[in-house]
């Protein structure tokens, strides 16, 4: 049985690296990522689980980091937007202007990347179900949908032609 009280050194696996951080058991993963590890790409929006700006991947699954404690995620692989380096989803969002102010974009991209890993060719209903977890206050949803459609193409394996 593991128990943490007071300030504890916790080993977190973040973006493929082991990171030792001193945390209080009540620290959310969001606060630890931003304030202890300087990974400010993860945004603090509503801090109530509504907006999805703080979405990170835990073992490849989207999770709202404001609603999970850092201690809960010990031993799990955490991926933030900084760890999604050169993912085609990022290129698609840039190409299709899938952002306006950009605050929701890290959460959107991580959720979209997880969606396309689970469903390489998602139908509109599946895309809607996954992406309605993230709110865009600029209401730029049209361009975000375009970006996801383009990402589907970018991520598809090349079709081999016949001679």
Partner 1 sequence: MISEDISYVRPGTAEEAMQAWAEYTGRPTGDPQADNAQSGGAQGVHYLGGGTELVTGARKSGLGGKPLRVLIDLKHIGATRRMENSGTTIFLGSTLSLNEIGDSGIFPLLTATIRNIADRTTRNRLSLGGNIAGSLPYREAVLPLLLADAKVHTIKPFHADGRDLSVRSEHPLRGIFDKRLTLQTGELILGFSFPADRVALPWRHYRATRTGPVDYPLVTACFVAGSGCVAGSEGVNESEGALGGAGIAVAFSGLFPYPVWYASLDEANTTLAVPGLVRSDQRASAEYRLALTRDMVRRAQEELS
Which chain residues interact with partner 1 by CB under 8 A? 1-6, 24-28, 31, 47-49, 52, 55, 61-64, 66-69, 71-72, 111, 129-130, 132-134
Tokens for 120, please give them: 């390489």
**Whole-number Å distance between alpha carbons of 54 and 2:** 27
The C-alpha atoms of residue 160 and residue 153 are separated, in whole angstroms, by: 15
CB 108 within 8 A of CB 93: yes
Query: Which CB atom, from 76 or from 95, has the smaller least distance to partner 1?
Result: 76
Give least dist CB 154 to partner 1, A. 23
Nearer to partner 1, 69 or 92 (CB): 69
CB of 136 to partner 1, least distance (A): 14
Give dist(CA 89, CA 80) in Å, integer.
14
> Least separation, in Å, of the C-beta of 66 and partner 1?
8
């Amino acid at each position: 049985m593991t128990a943490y009280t007071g300030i504890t050194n916790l080993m977190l696996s973040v973006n493929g690296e082991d990171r030792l951080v001193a945390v209080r058991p009540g620290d959310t993963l969001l606060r630890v990522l931003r304030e202890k590890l300087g990974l400010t790409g993860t945004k603090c929006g509503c801090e109530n689980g509504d907006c999805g700006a703080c979405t990170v991947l835990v073992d490849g699954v989207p999770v709202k980091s404001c609603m999970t404690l850092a201690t809960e995620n010990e031993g799990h692989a955490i991926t933030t937007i900084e760890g999604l380096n050169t993912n085609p989803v990022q290129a698609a969002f840039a190409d299709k202007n899938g952002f306006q102010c950009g605050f929701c974009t890290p959460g959107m991209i991580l959720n979209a990347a997880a969606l396309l890993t689970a469903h390489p060719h998602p139908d509109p209903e599946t895309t809607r179900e996954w992406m309605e977890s993230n709110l865009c206050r600029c209401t730029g949803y049209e361009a975000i949908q375009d970006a996801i459609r383009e990402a589907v193409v970018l991520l598809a394996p090349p079709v081999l032609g016949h001679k």
